[in-house]
Amino acid sequence: MRLLLVDDEDLSRRSISDFLREQLDMEVVECNNVPSALVEHTKNPFDIIISDLKMPGIDGIEFLEKIKQGDEGKFTDFILITGFGNLDSAVSALRAGAFDYLQKPLNIDELSEVLKRSRDHLLLLNENREFKTNLNRIIRTEKRKLRDKCHEIQNTYVDISGYGEIGIFSSHMEKIKEQCEILHQDRTVPVLIEGDTGSGKEIIARLIHKGGRNISEPFIPINCTAIPPTLFESELFGYDAGAFTDSKKSGNMGKFELANEGTLFLDEIGDMPLELQGKLLRVIEEREFYRLAGSSKVKIDVRIICATNKNLRTMVKDGSFRNDLYFRLNTANISLLPLRKRREEIIPLAEMFMRRFNRLKKRNFINISAGAKKILEDYSWPGNIRELNNLIERVVLLNDDSEIRADHLGILESDPQERDSFHILDAENMKLPEGKFDLKKLEREIVRKAIEKFDGNKSKAAEYLGLTRSSLRSKL
């Protein structure tokens, strides 16, 4: 697909353009102002336009309106970007007909996902344009082409983000892999993945989706924290013409429809607005829904995978998460341990990331030194696998060597507090701070975490701590 990139900031424009060409293999034309962009679009209309919002003279909103006035405007997806975004400007952009709205500095995963959705959307528009001429041929051929294109974009995203590599380096991960292969066989069973931020929940979701095979069915991820509550329903269910002011005349497909016959991954499900949780439960149960302002039901065959780093059981108790939705999602549960409790995986994962970034950054690292391994193994990894991945990428990017050495990991050595916090309850490796130590505070935290560990069951917490129930009550 052809893409027009308009930004008056040269460095920003070139960075985005290089990413689109090199990583997504897109045909990109650059302009630093709106008048020249209009000339280029008039000569040969573009499929996708990415434009800065704030520019001298004609700004991004006015540019968008000019594009949408033309006959080809409805077949061009317009994505606005800005470094000075707020909710009002986002709403104005969407009302003017923007396909999406992103803030600078751009996140490549977010940009890749938006472009993936845009390609899917444009393919659907072209389907509709040809629909009247040959319905049967469209159904047979265009559906196959759409799936192939979706698979191609998916693979591009996987290559960039690293989700294509799944390291199974512990008995914990072996068991989870076996669970994933079983769960892959039945798309009707919802799955809940629980684990700390960065522990690899989306990787596990993709493993369930693929089932160890190379498949073309769509995998549609949604980060529930990234969608404003006012847009959540239309994002999930789509809308028909006239659903709201300035809505597209043709309506718009939601994520459920895009994920049909594949997987919808709802990350951070604990942040879904409470008023939408009942609608999600109904879709899971009935396998059908209405678009916003729609009059006919849309039937779907979608696998639902949810992930959270929150304690949903606690949220159910305090009323911030529906108990019926929780019990339905918890039909199949996978709990991911944090990396600090899977220490045998640290070095194999680091080596896997090193090999991947060698390919991407064109480096020649061969191994990790013994000193560097010791530092990696001793660190507490509060950011889990994502932090390890980012660290290895940084090391490979900033150094051109054959071995990752201890001096390459200075950023970890400069954070002894994190390492010490992991060993604080390990009698053999216990390290005490130099200053005053609050023993009572530590005792309170231990008791609190023990009760939390057993979901408020004080008898089990007392047994775990080696206390009588009356002793525990006394401490409380």
Which tens digit of pLDDT belongs to each residue from 446-472?
Answer: 888 888 777 778 888 888 888 887 777
| Three-state DSSP class for residue 122 | helix
- Looking up tokens 């231990």 gives 446
> Looking at the predicted structure, is the pLDDT value of residue 393 above 70?
yes
Do 279 and 184 lie in one domain? The reply is: yes
* Average pLDDT value for residue range 172-195: 93
Do 96 and 239 lie in one domain? The reply is: no
- How many angstroms separate the CA atoms of 170 and 178, rounded? 13
- How many angstroms separate the CA atoms of 98 and 229, rounded? 18
Residue 453, phi then psi, degrees to nearest 5: -60, -35
Do 350 and 321 lie in one domain? The reply is: no
Say if 160 falls within a structural domain.
no
> Looking at the predicted structure, is the pLDDT value of residue 423 above 50?
no
Q: What is the CATH number of the domain that holds 470?
A: 1.10.10
Question: What angle, rounded to 10 degrees, do the helices at 439-453 and 458-465 form?
Answer: 130
Q: What is the CATH number of the domain that holds 402?
A: 1.10.8.60
| Three-state DSSP class for residue 404 | strand
Do 119 and 194 lie in one domain? The reply is: no
Higher pLDDT pick, 430 / 102: 102
Question: What angle, rounded to 10 degrees, do the helices at 346-361 and 384-398 form?
Answer: 40
Say if 283 falls within a structural domain.
yes
DSSP 142: I
**Count of CB atoms situated within 10 Å of the CB of 457:** 13
Helix (H) or strand (E) holding 189: none
Say if 165 falls within a structural domain.
no
Say if 162 falls within a structural domain.
no
Say if 59 falls within a structural domain.
yes
Q: What is the CATH number of the domain that holds 222?
A: 3.40.50.300
Do 270 and 222 lie in one domain? The reply is: yes
Do 200 and 297 lie in one domain? The reply is: yes
DSSP 250: T
- The domain of 57 spans 2-143
Do 353 and 410 lie in one domain? The reply is: yes
Which pairs with CB-CB distance under 8 Å and at least 24 residues apart come from 86-92?
87/228, 89/53, 90/228, 92/61
- How many angstroms separate the CA atoms of 94 and 89, rounded? 9
- E-strand ranges in 83-218 read 100-103, 191-194
Q: What is the per-residue pLDDT across 301-351, written as a single tens digit (0 to 9) for each?
A: 999 999 999 999 999 999 999 999 999 999 999 999 999 999 999 999 999
Do 330 and 347 lie in one domain? The reply is: no
Please list, in sequence order, all residues whose beta carbon lies within 8 angstroms of the beta carbon of residue 56, skipping any fewer than 6 positions away. Answer: 8, 33
Q: Distance from CA of residue 119 to its chain's centroid?
A: 18
Of 113-122, 135-144, 174-183, 224-233, the range with the lowest mean pLDDT is: 135-144
Q: What is the per-residue pLDDT across 53-105, written as a single tens digit (0 to 9) for each?
A: 888 888 888 999 888 887 777 889 999 988 776 767 777 888 888 899 888 88
357: tokens are 């970034």
Domain end among 279, 307, 337: 337
Count of domains in the chain? 4
According to the model, what pLDDT value does residue 424 have? Answer: 46
- Which one, of 167, 185, 119, 181, lies nearest residue 351 by Cα? 167
Domain end among 126, 143, 160: 143
Say if 21 falls within a structural domain.
yes
Please list, in sequence order, all residues whose beta carbon lies within 8 angstroms of the beta carbon of residue 85, skipping any fewer than 6 positions away. Answer: 53, 101, 103
pLDDT class of 139 with cuts at 50, 70, 90: low
274: tokens are 């409470």
229: left (phi over 0), alpha (psi -120 to 50) or beta: alpha
Say if 289 falls within a structural domain.
yes
Q: What is the CATH number of the domain that holds 6?
A: 3.40.50.2300
Do 196 and 284 lie in one domain? The reply is: yes
pLDDT class of 358 with cuts at 50, 70, 90: very high
Do 391 and 406 lie in one domain? The reply is: yes
**Count of CB atoms situated within 10 Å of the CB of 262:** 21
242: left (phi over 0), alpha (psi -120 to 50) or beta: left
137: tokens are 């041929």
Residue 152 exposed, middle or buried by CB count within 10 Å (0-12, 13-18, 19+): middle
* Average pLDDT value for residue range 429-448: 73
Do 240 and 315 lie in one domain? The reply is: yes
DSSP 441: H
Q: pTM to 2 decimals?
A: 0.55
**Count of CB atoms situated within 10 Å of the CB of 237:** 23
Residue 235 exposed, middle or buried by CB count within 10 Å (0-12, 13-18, 19+): middle
318: tokens are 């305090």
Do 184 and 50 lie in one domain? The reply is: no
- How many angstroms separate the CA atoms of 466 and 334, rounded? 29
Say if 445 falls within a structural domain.
yes
- How many angstroms separate the CA atoms of 422 and 362, rounded? 35
- How many angstroms separate the CA atoms of 76 and 49, rounded? 7
- How many angstroms separate the CA atoms of 53 and 77, rounded? 15
* Average pLDDT value for residue range 105-110: 88
- How does strand 77-82 pair with strand 297-299? unpaired
